[in-house]
Amino acid sequence: MCGIRFSCLIYNNELNEKQNCQNEKQENKLIQDSRSPSSHSDSGDSAKTFTLADTKIASKLRNRGPDFCTTYSVNLTNSCIGTMTGCVLHLRGNLTPQPVTDETNNALLWNGEIFDGIQVVEDENDTQVLFNALTKCTGDDTVLKLIESIHGPWAFIYWQADAKKLWFGRDMFGRRSLLWHLPSLEDNQFILSSVATENQDFAEIPSVGIFVLDFTQPEVCPSLTLYPWCNCRWPGTSTKLIDTPGSELLRQLYPINSTNLSTKLDIKETLSSWIPSINKNLDIENFASESVLNVDQFLNHTELLHHILTTDSELNMLSDALIDVLQTAVKKRVTTLPRNYHVTTPQNVQTSDANIAILFSGGLDSTLLAAVADRCTPPDESIDLLNVAFEQRPTFGKNKLKEKKQVKKKTRFPKDHSSSSEARPEIGLERIENGFDHLKDISQGSNKSDFEEISLGKSPDESSDALNSSDIQKSHVTTITPSSHHDNVPYKNISFDPYDVPDRVTGITALGELNPNRKWNFIEINVTQEEVQKMRQSRISSLIYPLQTVLDDSIGCAVWFASQGVGVLANNRSHKIKSKAKVILCGMAADEQFAGYSRHRVTFNTKGWQGLLNEIEEEMWRISSRNLGRDDRIISDHGKESRFPFLDETFTQFVSTIPIYKRADLRLPRGLGEKLLLRLCAYKLGLFKTAVQPKRAIQFGSKIAKMDNRKEKGSDTCDRLNYN
> What sign has the CA pseudo-torsion 654, 655, 659, 664?
positive
**Mean pLDDT, residues 185-209:** 87
As a whole number, the mean pLDDT across the chain is: 80
pLDDT at 614 over 70: yes
* Confidence label for 414 from pLDDT (cuts 50, 70 and 90): very low
Question: Sorting pLDDT into bands at 50, 70 and 90, what band is 293?
Answer: low
Which of 321, 254, 276 is CA-nearest to residue 662? 321
What is the mean predicted confidence (pLDDT) over 710-721?
83
Tell whether the model's pLDDT for residue 288 goes beyond 70.
no
Alpha carbon distance 375, 453 (integer Å): 28
Query: Are 678 and 672 contacting, i.e. CB atoms less than 8 angstroms apart?
Result: no
- Span 156-165, mean pLDDT? 96
What per-residue confidence (pLDDT) applies to 290? 55
Report the alpha-carbon distance of residue 605 to residue 599 in Å, rounded. Answer: 10
Q: Which CATH class is domain 2-18+50-267?
A: alpha beta
At residue 215, the pLDDT reads 92
- Per DSSP, 194 falls in state S
Neighbours of 661 (CB within 10 A): 20
If one compares 20 and 166, the residue with the highest pLDDT of the two is 166
pLDDT(595) > 60: yes
Q: Which of 162-166, 291-295, 518-522, 524-528 has the lowest average pLDDT?
A: 291-295
Distance CA 23, CA 9 (A): 8
d(CA 666, CA 612) in angstroms, rounded, equals 10
Please report the DSSP string for 318-384 in residue order: HHHHHHHHHHHHHHHHHSS---S------TTEEE---SEEEE--SSHHHHHHHHHHHHHS-TTS-EE
Dihedral angle computed from the Cα positions of residues 704, 468, 562 and 518, in that order, rounded to the nearest 10 degrees: -160
Sign of the four-CA dihedral 216, 218, 220, 222: positive
Query: Whole-structure pTM over 0.95, yes or no?
Result: no
Higher-confidence residue of 472 and 303: namely 303
Average pLDDT over every residue of 154-168: 96
- How confident is the model over 623-627, as a mean pLDDT? 85
Least confidently predicted of 235-249, 321-335, 415-429, 581-595: 415-429
Label residue 455 exposed, middle or buried (CB < 10 Å: 0-12, 13-18, 19+): buried
Domain boundaries, the chain: 2-18+50-267, 284-339+352-393+497-721
Give the C-alpha distances (Å, rounded to integers) separating 662 from 300, 311, 567, 650.
21, 14, 40, 19
Other Cβ atoms within 10 Å of 424 Cβ, number: 20
Report yes or no: 554 and 704 within 8 Å, Cβ to Cβ.
yes
User: Distance of alpha carbon 104 from its chain centroid, rounded?
Assistant: 37
Over 435-492, what HEC string results?
Answer: HHHHHHHCCCCCCHHHHHHHHHHCCCCCCHHHHCCCCCCCCCCEEECHHHHCCCCCCC
Q: Is 677 helix (H, G, I), strand (E, B) or coil?
A: helix
Is residue 431's pLDDT more than 50?
Answer: no
d(CA 280, CA 565): 42
pLDDT band at 247 (very low <50, low <70, confident <90, very high): confident
Distance CA 5, CA 181 (A): 11
- What is the pLDDT confidence band of residue 677, given thresholds at 50, 70 and 90? very high
Q: Read off φ and ψ for residue 369, nearest 5 degrees.
A: -60, -40
Is residue 557 pLDDT above 50, yes or no? Answer: yes
Secondary structure class of 672 (helix, strand, coil): coil
Architecture per CATH, 284-339+352-393+497-721: 3-Layer(aba) Sandwich (3.40)
Is the pLDDT at 36 greater than 60, yes or no? no
Q: Report the distance separating Cα 709 and Cα 387, nearest Å.
A: 22
List CB contacts of 277: < 8 A, sequence separation 6 or more: 231, 656
Q: How far, in Å, CA of 387 to CA of 358, rounded?
A: 9
Q: Count of CB atoms within 10 A of residue 11's CB?
A: 18
pLDDT recorded at residue 198: 67
Asked if residue 99 has a cis previous peptide bond (ω within 30° of 0), the answer is yes
Looking at residue 320, its amino acid is D
Instruction: Say yes or no to pLDDT of 482 above 50.
Output: no
The pLDDT of residue 397: 52
Average pLDDT over residues 25-51: 38
Q: What are phi and psi of 466, to 5 degrees?
A: -65, -40
- According to DSSP, the residues that pair with 160 across neighbouring strands are 165
Confidence of residue 57 (pLDDT cuts 50, 70, 90): confident
Predicted local confidence at residue 464, as pLDDT = 33
CA pair distance 168, 2, nearest whole angstrom: 15
Q: How confident is the model at residue 621 (pLDDT cuts 50, 70, 90)?
A: confident
Q: What pLDDT, on a 0 to 100 scale, did the predictor assign at position 30?
A: 47
Contact 184, 147 (CB under 8 A): no
User: Sign of dihedral through CA atoms 647, 648, 652, 655?
Assistant: negative
The secondary structure of the chain in percent helix, strand, coil, rounded to multiples of 5, reads 35, 20, 45
